[in-house]
Structure 1
Amino acid sequence: MNNSTNILPPYRFSIAPMMDWSDRHCRYFWRLLTREALLYTEMVTTGALLKGDFERFLQYNQEEHPLAIQLGGSDPRSLAKCAGMAEDWGYDEVNLNCGCPSDRVQEGKIGAILMAEPELVAECVSEMRNACSIPITVKHRIGIDDQDDYPAMADFVRTVAAAGCSTFIVHARKAWLKGLSPKQNREVPPLNYDFVAQLKREFPTLTVIVNGGINTIEQSQALLEDVDGVMIGREAYNNPWFLAQVDEKLFNRPSLAPSRDHVITQYAEYCQREIEKGNRLHHMSRHILGLYLGEYGARIFRRHITECANRPDATAQVLLKAVNLMKRHD
């Protein structure tokens, strides 16, 4: 990461780790829209890295930097090994998931359930820091179940910070570990940005980033009055053109993407290169369906890609034709 004093830090704006969405193809696409935002991988469990095809999980495009990997796990030694692997592969940051409410990951003591064990999280952070020199950060909720008051969250942060974590990404909703689905846990518990702002006031030397319910540049700018950074999730996926404003309005840098059509042309070139390596178009094209959201003919664009990209012989020309079809109906 570039820590030059005349460049705003990448954590000022980041895109959340999102299972089944923020894979390396999606991240390459986002990087065509913003060069400054910090990108995160999908959550990767320690078991997947230590017992599975680790190269598949760690692979990325060099253009994706600055890039952080999010790990899921609770065994300090396993997390330490994975943090070392992440540094060896060139990642800029390792993030520990203490926010996912899924029943599936709870069974492995992964995600939000770890908020009930701050001492264990502190031990994990300590071991990870000893295993690598890149930053170790933690993403968590404001609370879980009935443990959702501000002092409980502050105690969690205080304990983990004492182990050497200086950056906390706070999803400003609590998580119900029983009774709500992961989707409901992103929508039903009310947002509480005040808790996150209070955390920054109480711990001014920590980097505090707010996540949850953020979907406009104006909202991001307002939240940045109280915290160090904002992280968005679904808006980046459903309305990716939103990201084309980030560099100019949040980092005082020239916009990277002059037009949606320019982005499609660049991404089509990337997709064709990947197809020639044996990858399928539909694995990549699904990430761009929202690029023309709100534009006349956007439905035609989405329909053509959805109908044609999954054909075994599909090439990147499918994307360019989708744009042309949309323009004909303009």
Structure 2
Amino acid sequence: MGIENRKSLDILFKPRNVVIYKASEKIDYFLAGYKEQNYNINKLYLVNSEKEEIFGLKCVKSIEDVPENVIDLLILSIGRNKVIQELKKLLFKKKINTIHIFTAGMGESDEKGKGIESELLEILNDKNLNTRVIGPNCMGVYCPEGHLAYEPAFPTEPGNISFVFQSGDLHSQTIRIGARRYDLKYSKGASIGNCLDLQISDFLQYYNEDSATDIIGVYFEGFSRHHPDEGRKLFQTLKTMDKPVLFINGGNTKRAQKAILSHTGSISSNQRIWGAIVKQTPIIDVPTSMDDMIDYLYLFSTYINRFKKNRNKLSEVVYPKGKNVLLILWSGGFGIIDTNMLTKLGLKVPYFDGPILKKLREIYPIKIGSLAN
């Protein structure tokens, strides 16, 4: 990952200041989440020209009243018809490092929404800006170390699991239920919606280099219509991942692919392409179930935490380099069940024949059981 991209994501997850533009009571969960995570309230600015305060926090009338020369994270919470006008004004008046466009009703809704997204991208492509964006149509970021959360129920203690999801509610539910069911702890999370600018591949590259992340969970719906090269970029990124990537592909059926168009407006990949990606990259293909994702996270988290505890002489966790798995079991039934499970996960269980099988029979001459499978 390039230095500038890494710096932008560092700022996104650990902003020195946050501005919520057009703040209102409707997003009280953001304020409650920031308070619960103990974010520095003196660096949280609410811009609303009609309110004196919201839930005990004072508001400023305009962006000019924010006493910061550089805004690290701006959360844009306005109706879609005003997004273009307001964004231009904000970028003209302040240097903004990262923007979370909370606004929905964009490319996932209709042709007008698609047009608004295209205009937004044109503005952001100005090379002099160097402003990175998540969204639109997303919940935003979560980072206990950065004291950020868009919900008060998220754990405050940091862990080693990081997420990038194209569904805000699924992201929230996975975090909450995983914490409640298995006491899972998290490093970072991003609900990124329609992927106007920052893509899933950007977050994967960042997490792969992030020392606080050991396990990565992904919920993928498809590629942004604005970034036709993202498929190739994601494939190349997945091939080089050093950490476990637990991946849910939401577009498993034609009917689901239609639903995706009205959810995040993404272009989903067909199953044949997805099957090739699973075979050629080290990702773990998780069934399309939140419960399965949480169980997988618990399994990997437990293993890695035990490994670190018992192998503290190692500076880092060492992961398997390939997908080949050898099973040594007494029971043929368990061997079949385990083979099914491992194969569905994208791992390879060898079938022995020829010279290898002959050599194994010399080592293990007992006639009980089978050495072939």
With normalisation by structure 1, the TM-score equals: 0.29
Structure number with greater Rg is 2
Q: Which has the higher contact order (CA 8 A, sep 6+)?
A: 1
Return the TM-score normalized by structure 2. Answer: 0.27
